Amino acid sequence: MTEEQSVKLKAFLNCFVEYPLLTEIMGDFDRLRQNRLLGGDQQCMLLTGDTGCGKSHLIRYYQSREQSEPKGRFDSSPILVSRIPSKLSLEETVLQLLKDLGQFGTTTRGRSRITTDSSLTHSLVELLRKKQVELIIINEFQELIEYKSAEKKQAIANRLKYISEEAGVPIVLVGMPWAEMIAEEPQWSSRLVTRRSLPYFKLSEDPVHFVQFLKGLAKKMPFDKPPKLEDKKTSISLFAASRGELRALRHLINDAVKDAVLEDEREFNVQRLHHSFTKLNPQVRNPFELPLNEIKLSEIEHYSGYNPRAMSNDDALTNRMFSENIPLKELLKKKG
């Protein structure tokens, strides 16, 4: 791979396609940062969505966009993005936040017997002030409250509330759909003033939304002119291949674009999508080789869930469910 090819591919693989819902969510982030200047109780936010819906990509884009803008402040970190660590505990989460702020040596410090939860929290609050953090975004938040008793969930809610109030920084909790359980805690039921969900694409509800995304993605491709991904046959085949899941859609398109760039093609031939699907799904019938009237589609019906009253941990999590594969005409009849 040449350096030029590498640059083109990295730019496309990391590109962000903004559409109305994402614009609104980033506007929510901006509003939380602005409201913090008014003081008082900090307004916070809950953002949920199933696996592959694009939550992490959105967060990374927002952080990189804000960090790249000159603020005229030395050693500041306006957006702190963290995620729940592999060791699921409140202490480890505070340690991870410290580490993400550049506090090195927190792993050893966290193991010290004389280090208390309160001293770690105090250190975090002080560092948040020093770094002039305007917004904390905690990803994969559901992992911290899964399989926890009501008492432990309340302790988590109390600690996050304390950090937010003492540092004067709003918090965005991001996670799978059942992260909403935190909203049941009295400390957070009114504090989460904004609650958003990031859905999969659904042709039965908003086919235009899907087509607009394909157009936006095509414009980001490293070719002389954008391919017509929005053409009916191509767009329906792409939906059939991904079932509306953003991650699956991007994996397929990314692979096809990579092959085209490595062969120094100036234009993107949509036939490459056919080849990439076969490569990635050798045991599945390829929608790109079927006539439009023979393509069958499936879309999300129920998102993943969590039942805290399940008899065992193995039964607590429920998988997402997709509809049966049906022709396009039948799928569109479900609209409304």
63-114: per-residue pLDDT in tens? Answer: 998 876 555 555 678 999 988 776 767 788 888 889 988 876 555 444 444 4
239 Cβ contact list (under 8 Å, min separation 6)? 201, 203, 210, 297, 299
Q: Please write the tens of the pLDDT for every residue from 27-48.
A: 999 999 998 887 777 889 999 9
**Cα–Cα dist 22/57, whole Å:** 11
Three-state DSSP class for 184? helix
Q: Which of 18, 20, 6, 156 is nearest to 84 (CA)?
A: 156
pLDDT at 105: 58
How high is the pLDDT of residue 168?
92
Whole-structure pTM value: 0.88
Q: Let me know if 57 is exposed, middle or buried by CB neighbors in 10 A (0-12, 13-18, 19+).
A: middle
Could you say which DSSP state residue 278 is in? H
Per-residue pLDDT, 68 = 61
Pairing of strands 317-318, 305-306: antiparallel
pLDDT at 104: 61
Sign of CA pseudo-dihedral 291, 293, 216, 60: negative
pLDDT, averaged per 10 consecutive residues of the chain (336 residues), comes to 93 93 95 86 91 95 79 69 78 87 61 61 91 93 78 82 91 92 79 92 92 96 95 96 97 97 94 96 93 94 86 80 91 71
Which pLDDT belongs to residue 183? 79
- The confidence score (pLDDT) of residue 269 equals 94
